[in-house]
Structure 1
Amino acid sequence: MSTLSDPDAVQPFGQPAPVVRFFGWATLFMLAAFLINNVLVSWYGFPGLGAIAAGGADPKVFVVLGLYILALAGAVVWVWHSGNTALRWDARTITAFNAYLIRACFFAVLFVGLVDAAIAFLRIESLFGTFLPEDLAREFNRVQFLAPTIHGPLIVAGFVVALFTRTLGFQWLALMIVGAELLIVISRFVFSYEQALMGDLVRYWYAALFLFASAYTLLEEGHVRVDVLYAGFSRRTKGKVNAVGAILFGMVTCWCVLIMGMGSPQAIINAPVRNFEISQASTAGMYVKYQMAAFLGIFAVTMLIQFVAYLFEAVADKRDEPGHKDHIGAAH
């Protein structure tokens, strides 16, 4: 594949648009800075930006501020360095990365779901003691043990596997959900056996399916669009409407979710993840509730990334540039 700085590779897609590209790439760089700062503030005790307004003297706050400044500078350098890159090329590059991110998350929840369900079954049936030392068997009752030693490596494995295969997508995850539901029906009505872990597995995969696949649905124009006039607009007018909507409704909504959910250590996404929160039926169920809180953050991150690509495509449509992708079967 040609590099992004190769004019011959990108020129057929349209002329550069530095202002729009800076806005889009600055959004992505700022997103990266926000996520890094969230880790520093929530897990390593760094003060938030509010400490500056409050007159805090902790020098660590300037690390947090510096990351945002560095993000803006990085966006400037990136746009300047790749000045000949067209909008559609940028959009497709961003979409390819986002597709990998979503695919990796799908693999991660597949691995974690299967393994944690098996662990829950062994824990419920008190089978760990038959082949593990008593001290180690007790550790499998603690999410503080399972999260870093079992879940963490499985999540990493999902990201590694996603580098080499594209075989798992939301269609396959949907099939796995059907299989999990079928298992509940068979075990309940044939063997009169049911445990909370079975429902937990279905809910875990359902949450991943709907939240992770949302960005893919945006790419394919699959979200329901309630309109009276849009269908009759020209491509240029549709591009203008989509660009404004991507910024005012899509990106703003994603940032609201991220700030409200990850704006402080006790925010609604950070708190369950930091505390490895589990359900009330913990001893009879899976230990993945804290991950389901993180799913909302993953949804906002992947949607924001995709909205940047959507913005680039919309502006390219407004400029009537070649390379427009027709979406068949879009919902209106």
Structure 2
Amino acid sequence: MTTDQVAGHGSQASGIRLLGWGILAILAAFLVNNVMNVGYGTPALMPALTGGAEGAFVPIAIYAASLLLCVVYVFSSKSTVLRTDAARLHRFNLYFIRGCFWAVLFVGVVDAAIAQLRVENMLTLLFSEETSRALGRSAYVGPYVHMPLVALGFVVALFTRTLGFTWLTLLIVLAELIIVFLRFVFSYEQALMGDLVRYWYAALFLFASAYTLFDEGHVRVDVFYAGFSTRKRGFINAWGSLLLGISTCAVILAIGLNGKTAIINAPVANFEITQTGAVGMFIKYQMAAFLAVFAISMIIQFVSYLFEAVADYRDEPGRREHKPIAH
């Protein structure tokens, strides 16, 4: 296929590109509006559309601007082929996931250390009385300890290329080994140890899901798929991405981020901690946020997957070879 033909294929795919980037534009607007709603009290989109809500123009303006940017991008890059868009989205997702992995590594190590010092009443040896008391409150640790570490994680992710799956798995094994060693050799155990393992386990499985989709590593209950042609697989994957993948993740976000009392918003806004309280780690609110990270990264990856699937259906060049796993 010549360069002109490839460009022609990109122009003809404007509709599917508008759909994919439109989904991401709505996702971005939804997340921005969620922050505005929870943090600053602006109304959600539906109350704004029905009228009567103070500040109704804010969510409408956010969605309109986001969709406008989507349209401008798509029509200003008509020659861009679907696989190029898919690759760009995947690269962004790699950075996003990589940043999340570094963040949970830094937060896990630092918070576990603070919790250990707090349990053993050793904070005052390193910090002033006022700081030691503050480090016993999640409302202080969350914004002033965790958030800078999360930001550091995303900065470090700019200069690294590893996703960290292997290293995080190794750290989980080491943490479990330390728990067993301390419990059975020294009869010593603290709640923070189990908190750290659960924290890293949750991050490993929820953050790795998007890359697993890219690598065709998810379990596929396959009766007919392995025998389909490339075009048929593309057709199935495109509709599956829209009707099953993106819709499921959208429901997670719609329920989890539906106002200040929603199951993701509430723990995050209040820096919620576990029932172990002061003797454990202050990371429960982040584990609630992991659900949002999972849904966001999966939607981005599903849009990338959608672009690739449609490119496969259209028999565009540059297809990645996969080895479907039947189960």
- Into which bin does the TM-score normalised by the smaller protein fall? over 0.9
Flag the 1:331–1:176 CA change in 2: closer, same or farther, 3 A: farther
Report the AA paired with residue 139 of structure 2: Q
Q: Please give the per-residue CA displacement for 1:106-159, whole angstroms capped at 9, x wherever unaligned.
A: 000000000000000000000012232212211110001101110010000000
Q: Which residue of 1 aligns with 2:148?
A: 153
How far does residue 331 in structure 1 lie from its aligned partner after superposition? 5.0
Is 1:30 the counterpart of 2:22? The answer is no
Match of 2:321 in 1: 326
Report the counterpart of residue 162 of structure 1 in structure 2: 157
Q: Give the Cα–Cα distance (whole angstroms) in 2 for the partners of residues 274 and 268 of structure 1.
A: 11
Matched, 1:82 2:103: no
Cα deviation for residue 328 of structure 1 reads 3.4
Residues in 2 aligned to 1:305 and 1:271: alpha-carbon distance in whole angstroms? 24
Q: Is residue 227 from structure 1 mapped to residue 211 from structure 2 by the alignment?
A: no
- The offset of 1:8, in angstroms, is 6.5
SS of 2:96's equivalent in the other structure is helix
Secondary structure at 2:266 match in 1: helix
Aligned residue for 1:85, secondary structure, equals coil
Match of 2:278 among 254, 279, 283: 283
Instruction: Pick the aligned partner of 1:264 from 259, 263, 269.
Output: 259
| Residue equivalent to 2:103 | 108
Task: Report the alpha carbon displacement of residue 283 of structure 1 after superposing the two structures with TM.
Answer: 1.3
Structure 2 counterparts to residues 112-261 of structure 1, below 5 A: 112-261=107-256
Cα drift, residue 11 of structure 1: 4.0
Equivalent in 285, 290, 295 of residue 295 of structure 1: 290
Moved over 3 A (4+): 7-16, 52-55, 328-332
Q: Structure 1 residues 329, 57: CA separation in 2 closer, same or farther (over 3 Å shift)?
A: closer
1:273 matched to 2:278? The reply is no
Cα-to-partner distance string for 1:265-311 (whole Å, 9 max, x where unaligned): 11110000001100010111100000000000000000000000000
Specify the alignment match of 1:65 in structure 2: 60
Measure the CA separation in 2 of the matches of 1:10 and 1:87: 13
Match for 1:43 among 34, 39, 43? 39
CA distance in 2, matches of 1:311, 1:188: 49
The one-letter code of the counterpart of 1:258 is L
Shift of 1:185: 0.9
Change in 2 beyond 3 A, CA 1:241/1:162: same
Contact 1:10 1:86 in 2 (8 A): no
Deviation at 1:71, TM superposition (A): 1.6
- What secondary structure is seen at the aligned counterpart in 2 of 1:164? coil
What is the CA deviation profile of residues 205-257 of structure 1, one whole-angstrom value per residue up to 9, with x for unaligned ones? 00000000000010001111112111111000000000000000001001100
CA contact (8 A) 1:100 1:163 kept: yes
Q: What is the alpha-carbon distance in structure 1 between the residues aligned to residue 237 and residue 253 of structure 2? A: 22
Distance 1:307 1:175 in 2: 28
Identity of aligned residues (%): 57
Q: 1:77 to 1:12 in 2, by over 3 A?
A: closer
Question: Structure 1 residues 9 and 39, CA, compared in 2 at 3 Å: closer, same or farther?
Answer: farther
After superposition, the Cα gap between the structure-2 partners of 1:104 and 1:85, relative to the gap in structure 1 and judged at 3 Å, is same
With over 3 angstroms needed to count, the CA separation of the structure-2 counterparts of 1:284 and 1:258, relative to structure 1, is same
Amino acid at match of 1:33: A
Matched residue count:
325
Call closer, same or farther: CA 1:178–1:24 in 2, change over 3 Å. Answer: same
Shift of residue 80, structure 1, vs aligned partner: 0.5
Residues 182 and 169 (structure 1), Cα distance of their counterparts in 2 relative to 1, 3 Å cut: same
What's the Cα RMSD here? 1.8
CA contact (8 A) 2:191 2:280 kept: yes
Provide structure 1 residue ranges, at least 5 long, that are not aligned to the other structure.
1-6
Classify the secondary structure of the residue corresponding to 2:158.
helix
| Distance (Å, rounded) in 2 between the aligned partners of 1:120 and 1:331 | 45
Looking at structure 2, the residues matched to 102 and 10 of structure 1 have their Cα atoms a distance apart, in angstroms, of 35
TM-score when normalising by structure 1: 0.94
Q: 1:97 aligns with which of 71, 92, 100?
A: 92
Write the letter of the residue equivalent to 1:114: V
